[in-house]
Amino acid sequence: MSNPRIGFHLSTAGGVFKAAERAHEIGANTFQIFSSSPRMWRPARIDASHARQLTELRRKYDCTPMVIHTSYLVNLCSQSEEVRKKSVAAFRGEVERALALGAEYLVLHPGSWRGLTREEGLVLAAASIAEATDGFNLDDVNFRILIENTAGAEFSLGSSFDQVAELITRLRPVVPIGACLDTCHCHVAGYDLVSPEGYEETVDLIKNTIGFADVRVWHTNDAKAARGSKLDRHQQIGKGTIGLEPFRRLLNDKRFRHCAFIAEVPVDEPGDDAKNVQTLRSLIATSAKPARARSKR
């Protein structure tokens, strides 16, 4: 990917292809959607003509990758066999729709292991993903499931890079797999992205657990709550407890150059989506800038 990939989580109201139109309108060249209602079990149907239009528009606007975020109801490590079964079926639907829409990535929160041990939860989540993807031929498609790090609420799996890495290791022989890291989740889970030294330590931890190559998407969200608070409340870029500078550092970090950066922040006023995309883009250093700064000295 030559130019940086900056995008937003967008609505599919009016048809899934509308998201590509919206992305283009707000200056994004990557985006994320839900492929069904994120708070209902009812499976969605993909309209084939809408899927075709989506592919055409993405090609026309050079909008890639496209990311699908899994429904919030899916809990693949639930202690309740009924909920887990429903979750496996729902996640299977997510994979089916992602393939039908030509999505490059499907982002998944690993789930809540309440009632089990963390280790049992981890094993169960990996087994459920294997079960949900059984029978799909995922070798020849440009598609990966991405495990997202979580904010660290009690019993939620994946709030540490270690846990994300362990799931990836377990799943690597089973499905094409990678990670999606969320800046807000990192911050409220206790990782330091804000101080320059803390940022380097955090990035070192990523290198030694998940590894850079497997990080495919960053959810670039500022946070409303304090570092370590475990409260998952997203804020617009630069207006929260993370602030602008850490995003500048991340967006210009060569170790994440292959990643897509997608904001999932509140749209309080019409146009806030475009504004946040613009903010992220404005933080990317143009190659001329550092040279000029150096020649002044």
Binding residues (CB under 5 A) for Zn ion: these are 182, 219, 232
User: Smallest distance from the beta carbon of 184 to Zn ion, in angstroms?
Assistant: 6
Nearer to Zn ion, 77 or 186 (CB): 186
* Strand (E) or helix (H) holding 291: helix 288-296
> At 104, which amino acid appears?
E
Judged by beta carbon, residue 22 or residue 219, the one nearer Zn ion is 219
Closer residue to Zn ion (CB): 214 or 232: 232
Residue 284 in 3-state DSSP? coil
Q: Which residue has the tokens 């991405």?
A: 146
CB-nearest residue to Zn ion: 219
CA angle 271–7–277, rounded 5-degree value:
40
User: In terms of CB distance, is 93 or 158 closer to Zn ion?
Assistant: 158
Nearer to Zn ion, 17 or 256 (CB): 256
Q: HSE (CB half, 13 Å, CA atoms) of 236?
A: 14
| Secondary structure string (H, E, C) spanning 218-252 | EECCEECCCCCCCCCCEECCCCCCCCHHHHHHHHC
Alpha carbon of 15 to those of 33, 35, 46, 54, 199: distances in Å? Answer: 11, 10, 9, 9, 40
Least distance from C-beta 173 to Zn ion, angstroms?
26
Least distance from Zn ion to the Cβ atom of residue 146, Å:
10
* Residue with Cβ nearer Zn ion (69 or 84): 69
Smallest distance, Zn ion to C-beta of residue 109, A? 8
Which CB, 17 or 225, lies closer to Zn ion?
A: 225
Q: Which residues contact 8 (CB under 8 A, 6 or more apart)?
A: 23, 26, 28, 31, 32, 262, 263, 264, 273, 276, 277
CA–CA separation, 151 vs 182, rounded Å? 9
- Compute the least distance from the CB of residue 34 to Zn ion, in Å: 12
Whether the upstream peptide bond of residue 266 has omega within 30° of 0, thus cis, is no
CB of 185 to Zn ion, least distance (A): 6
- Pick between residue 182 and residue 273 the one whose CB is nearest to Zn ion: 182
Smallest gap from Cβ 5 to Zn ion, in A, equals 16
For the bound state, the minimum distance from the C-beta of residue 183 to Zn ion, rounded and expressed in Å, comes to: 9
Which tokens belong to 239?
């207006």
178 vs 44: CA distance, rounded Å: 25
